Amino acid sequence: MKICGINSVIEALKARKIQKIYYSDDSGKVREVLKLAREEKIPCYKKKMSEKICAEIVPISFSKIEEIARKAIEDRGFILILDNVNDPQNMGACIRTAEFFGCSGIIIKKRRSVGITEGVIRASAGAVFHIKIATVENLVNVVKKLKKFEFFTVGAEVDGKELWKVRISSPVVLIVGGEDKGISSGVKNLCDDIVKIPGVGRMKSLNLSVACGIIIFEIFKNVNISNV
């Protein structure tokens, strides 16, 4: 897979995921990245292209559900499930926010989801390299499994209770639905609570990644995450 953009390349370099680097401009931050890459003996090639810097990376490695669940229990933290999120910008922004607030892992669907593409990596500013991610066929089965581990399961929907009125206890699973359809009905029925973000303006809803970020911050404030 090829990734482009200074932030994505820097984070991939930190995570030791880069195989080759291509650059069209070796000034400023790009020069610093090239210096670090050459110290790690990563081949760097100058070529004409629209981007200042790109890199070929090793395939993204995915985690198992059990591995993510174990980490969340140990951390007394939270897991983020993205259900049918199809916009790379939203997916990447959600991953970036989740990683920033110490999320133990992210679960996405293998189908009817954008997946971890170059656009998602760029939108996440490289956060995908620093967080466990699992891809699954059936979210209903995954949520059932997590509930057996006594995870408190919260869904985000416009018809839920006001976020501030719901008592959230760790470990937590936050489920955020796609841009158009929201959370799948089978998954929604398994949630312990459905929450919404109350507003006072004329707009009826928030951008998906913005709403996800607000709820993650509320979880972060109310759950003791031991690794923060």
pLDDT of residue 216: 95
Handedness of CA 214, 217, 223, 227 (dihedral sign): positive
Angle between helices 139-148 and 65-75 (to 10 degrees): 40
Q: Is pTM beyond 0.85 here?
A: yes
pLDDT in tens, 66-125: 999 999 999 888 999 999 899 999 999 999 999 999 999 999 998 777 889 999 999 999
* Amino acid residing at 11: E
pLDDT of residue 228: 44
CA-atom Rg of the chain in angstroms: 19
List the 53-57 sheet strands across, edge first. 2-4, 53-57, 18-23, 44-46
- 109 CB-near residues (< 8 Å, 6+ apart): 82, 83, 84, 135, 136, 137, 139
pLDDT of residue 110: 85
State the Cα–Cα distance between residues 184 and 210, nearest whole angstrom.
Answer: 20
* DSSP symbol at 125: T
Q: Which residues pair with 55 in a beta bridge?
A: 3, 21
Comparing C-alpha atoms, which of 188, 185, 201 is closest to residue 160?
Answer: 188
Comparing C-alpha atoms, which of 82, 51, 39, 56 is closest to residue 3?
Answer: 56
pLDDT of residue 226: 41
Tell me how far the alpha carbon of residue 178 is from its chain's centroid.
Answer: 14
Domains parsed from the chain with CATH numbers: 2-57 (3.30.1330.30), 65-222 (3.40.1280.10)
* Cα first-last separation, the chain: 32
- 185 CB-near residues (< 8 Å, 6+ apart): none
| Sites in the chain below the pLDDT cut of 50 | 225-228
pLDDT of residue 227: 41
